[in-house]
Amino acid sequence: MSVLHLTKTFYGISLLGYVKNLSLELKTTLNVYIACIVCEYLLSRIDLDELMKKDEPPFTFPKTLEEFEYAFNEYGQLRHIKTGEPFVFNAREDLHRWNQKRYEALGEIITQYVYELLEKKCNMTKETLPVDATEDEPTGFIYLSPDALSNPSKLLVLIQGSGVVRAGQWARRLIINQDLNSGTQIPFIERAMQEGYGVMVLNPNENYLEVEKSTKSPLPSPTETSDEPAEKRERKDDKEGKKKKEFYEKYRNPQRETETERIPIRENGSSEEHVLYVWDHFVSRAAAKNVFIMAHSYGGLSFVELMNQRESEVKNKVCAVALTDSAHNIWLQETTKSTQDWMQEHCRNWVSSPEPLDTTLEPMMPDCPRVSAGTERHELTSWMSFDSIFRFFSEFHAKEGEEAEETSNSVTTRSGSHKNRHQDL
């Protein structure tokens, strides 16, 4: 049956409906039914081989920014070396999967680039996790400023969200498509150092070592028996292997990707575990009297989980916490009333909102005040709140200093009073 014939039939039946005064419901049903037949026929005529004719290029990509022909300019923007244009995701039309793999390859290079900035520009050093790791086990790391553990006054701890981002990053998308300032933690680190903070940069998404799976098929057990003759089994295996090969050759896509398995890093297998581990082995042992924490997105959830596990320690050591579009939930995480009260006093959450920056927003839960980050883009909330967060920290530090001075004066006064009474006696 040709498409033309089907189309004539479609209109013929429609016309018949009018001529014979069919009900509206029946005419609608007939029209839809015929339309479905036409669509099914057209789809059956699509040649899948033609659609897949263009081979997908291999997943082999440059290993450096220079090989990608990209570089960061003086404004921290990623630009093509020859054209000066921003990064183009769709390097090849109609090959989304290949474009995505290329983007991910560039992202891995960006990660190493940010590590270099932390080490060379910010003078930070890597600390291996676990601290007692053996040579043959998977390890992660965090970054510390030279005075992170020795600074007696202030320590800033930075916790990113979930996903592909690693130490020093807020959002890979911003680094690639906007600039380094908005997408990395570098501005926060530099500002903190200028204001006398020690700094710890956590790495909560570095949870496992990914290794290639062994391609060797397991040897059959010596006790394993089969009713089939060996020659028949070999012919059967060859036939199945040939079918699989023909399938891949026919459709050409998807390419076979390397199969991998993940070996978790001990005591750092998740963001929550990582934050708890760093607290126990680094933050709790730091000399700073006042610890300040900034956590973005899922990092906020990890912080709340830390409070659930180390409530009294956190309350004694942490001065203030700045959250940006935090993913925490005090109900699902079952936080205590005392934790909620502490968060109400010591935390503030800058959330994505169309309202101007720092506008007070309606609370959604009885935990911490919510204010606008001045943007509706989740990934931009940290950068847009930059100045407000440091102002928030400064206010808390000043208040802590005043309270400490009042306590000291009170102790001095009492001591003097006791001395006078002793002299009188």
pLDDT tens track of the chain, all 425 residues? 444 454 444 444 444 444 455 566 666 666 767 777 766 666 665 554 444 445 677 888 989 999 999 999 999 999 999 999 999 998 888 888 888 999 999 999 999 999 999 999 999 999 999 999 999 999 999 999 999 999 999 999 999 999 999 999 999 999 999 999 999 999 999 999 999 999 999 999 999 998 887 655 444 444 444 455 555 556 666 666 655 555 444 444 455 567 889 999 999 999 999 999 999 999 999 999 999 999 999 999 999 999 999 999 999 999 999 999 999 999 999 999 999 999 999 999 999 999 999 999 999 899 999 999 999 999 999 999 999 999 999 999 888 766 655 555 554 444 454 445 444 53
- Strand ordering across the sheet containing 140-144: 125-129, 140-144, 197-201, 154-159, 290-296, 318-324, 347-351, 370-372, 360-361
The answer to whether position 90 is within a domain reads no
Question: What pLDDT, on a 0 to 100 scale, did the predictor assign at position 278?
Answer: 98
Count of residues making up the chain: 425
Return the CATH number at 156: 3.40.50.1820
The answer to whether position 117 is within a domain reads no
Identify whether the C-beta of residue 333 lies closer than 8 Å to the C-beta of residue 196: no
148 with 24, same domain? no
As a whole number of angstroms, the distance between CA 2 and CA 45 comes to 11
Q: How many domains does the chain contain in total?
A: 2
Q: Quick one: tokens of 405?
A: 């001075």
Q: Which helix (H) or strand (E) holds 285?
A: none
The answer to whether position 68 is within a domain reads no
166 with 292, same domain? yes
Question: What pLDDT, on a 0 to 100 scale, did the predictor assign at position 150?
Answer: 98
Q: Which helix (H) or strand (E) holds 8?
A: helix 3-19
The answer to whether position 85 is within a domain reads no
The answer to whether position 92 is within a domain reads no
Identify whether the C-beta of residue 198 lies closer than 8 Å to the C-beta of residue 155: yes
As a whole number of angstroms, the distance between CA 31 and CA 124 comes to 70
Question: What pLDDT, on a 0 to 100 scale, did the predictor assign at position 53?
Answer: 42
Pairing of strands 154-159, 290-296: parallel
Q: Which residue has the tokens 């991998």?
A: 260
Q: Which of 212, 258, 259, 246 is nearest to 58 (CA)?
A: 258
The answer to whether position 373 is within a domain reads yes
Question: What pLDDT, on a 0 to 100 scale, did the predictor assign at position 42?
Answer: 63
SS3 154: strand
List residues bridging with 32 in a β-sheet: none
Q: By CB neighbour count within 10 A (0-12 exposed, 13-18 middle, 19+ buried), where does 346 fall?
A: middle
Question: What pLDDT, on a 0 to 100 scale, did the predictor assign at position 248?
Answer: 44
As a whole number of angstroms, the distance between CA 133 and CA 290 comes to 30
23 with 151, same domain? no
The answer to whether position 71 is within a domain reads no
Q: By CB neighbour count within 10 A (0-12 exposed, 13-18 middle, 19+ buried), where does 57 fall?
A: middle
Identify whether the C-beta of residue 386 lies closer than 8 Å to the C-beta of residue 347: no
**Of 145, 182, 271, 297, which one is the catalytic site residue?**
297
As a whole number of angstroms, the distance between CA 340 and CA 319 comes to 15
Cα–Cα separations (whole angstroms), residue 93 to 54, 257, 273, 285, 315: 11, 21, 42, 54, 54
Pairing of strands 140-144, 197-201: antiparallel
As a whole number of angstroms, the distance between CA 259 and CA 241 comes to 18
Q: pTM, whole model, 2 decimals? A: 0.76
Question: What pLDDT, on a 0 to 100 scale, did the predictor assign at position 409?
Answer: 54
Identify whether the C-beta of residue 205 lies closer than 8 Å to the C-beta of residue 164: yes
Does the annotation mark 297 as catalytic? Answer: yes
Question: What pLDDT, on a 0 to 100 scale, did the predictor assign at position 27?
Answer: 60
The answer to whether position 158 is within a domain reads yes
Q: Quick one: tokens of 314?
A: 């956190």
133 with 33, same domain? no
As a whole number of angstroms, the distance between CA 343 and CA 368 comes to 5
Question: What pLDDT, on a 0 to 100 scale, did the predictor assign at position 60?
Answer: 84
Domain encompassing residue 19: 6-46
Region of residue 123 (phi > 0: left; psi between -120 and 50: alpha; otherwise: beta): left
286 with 178, same domain? yes
17 with 150, same domain? no
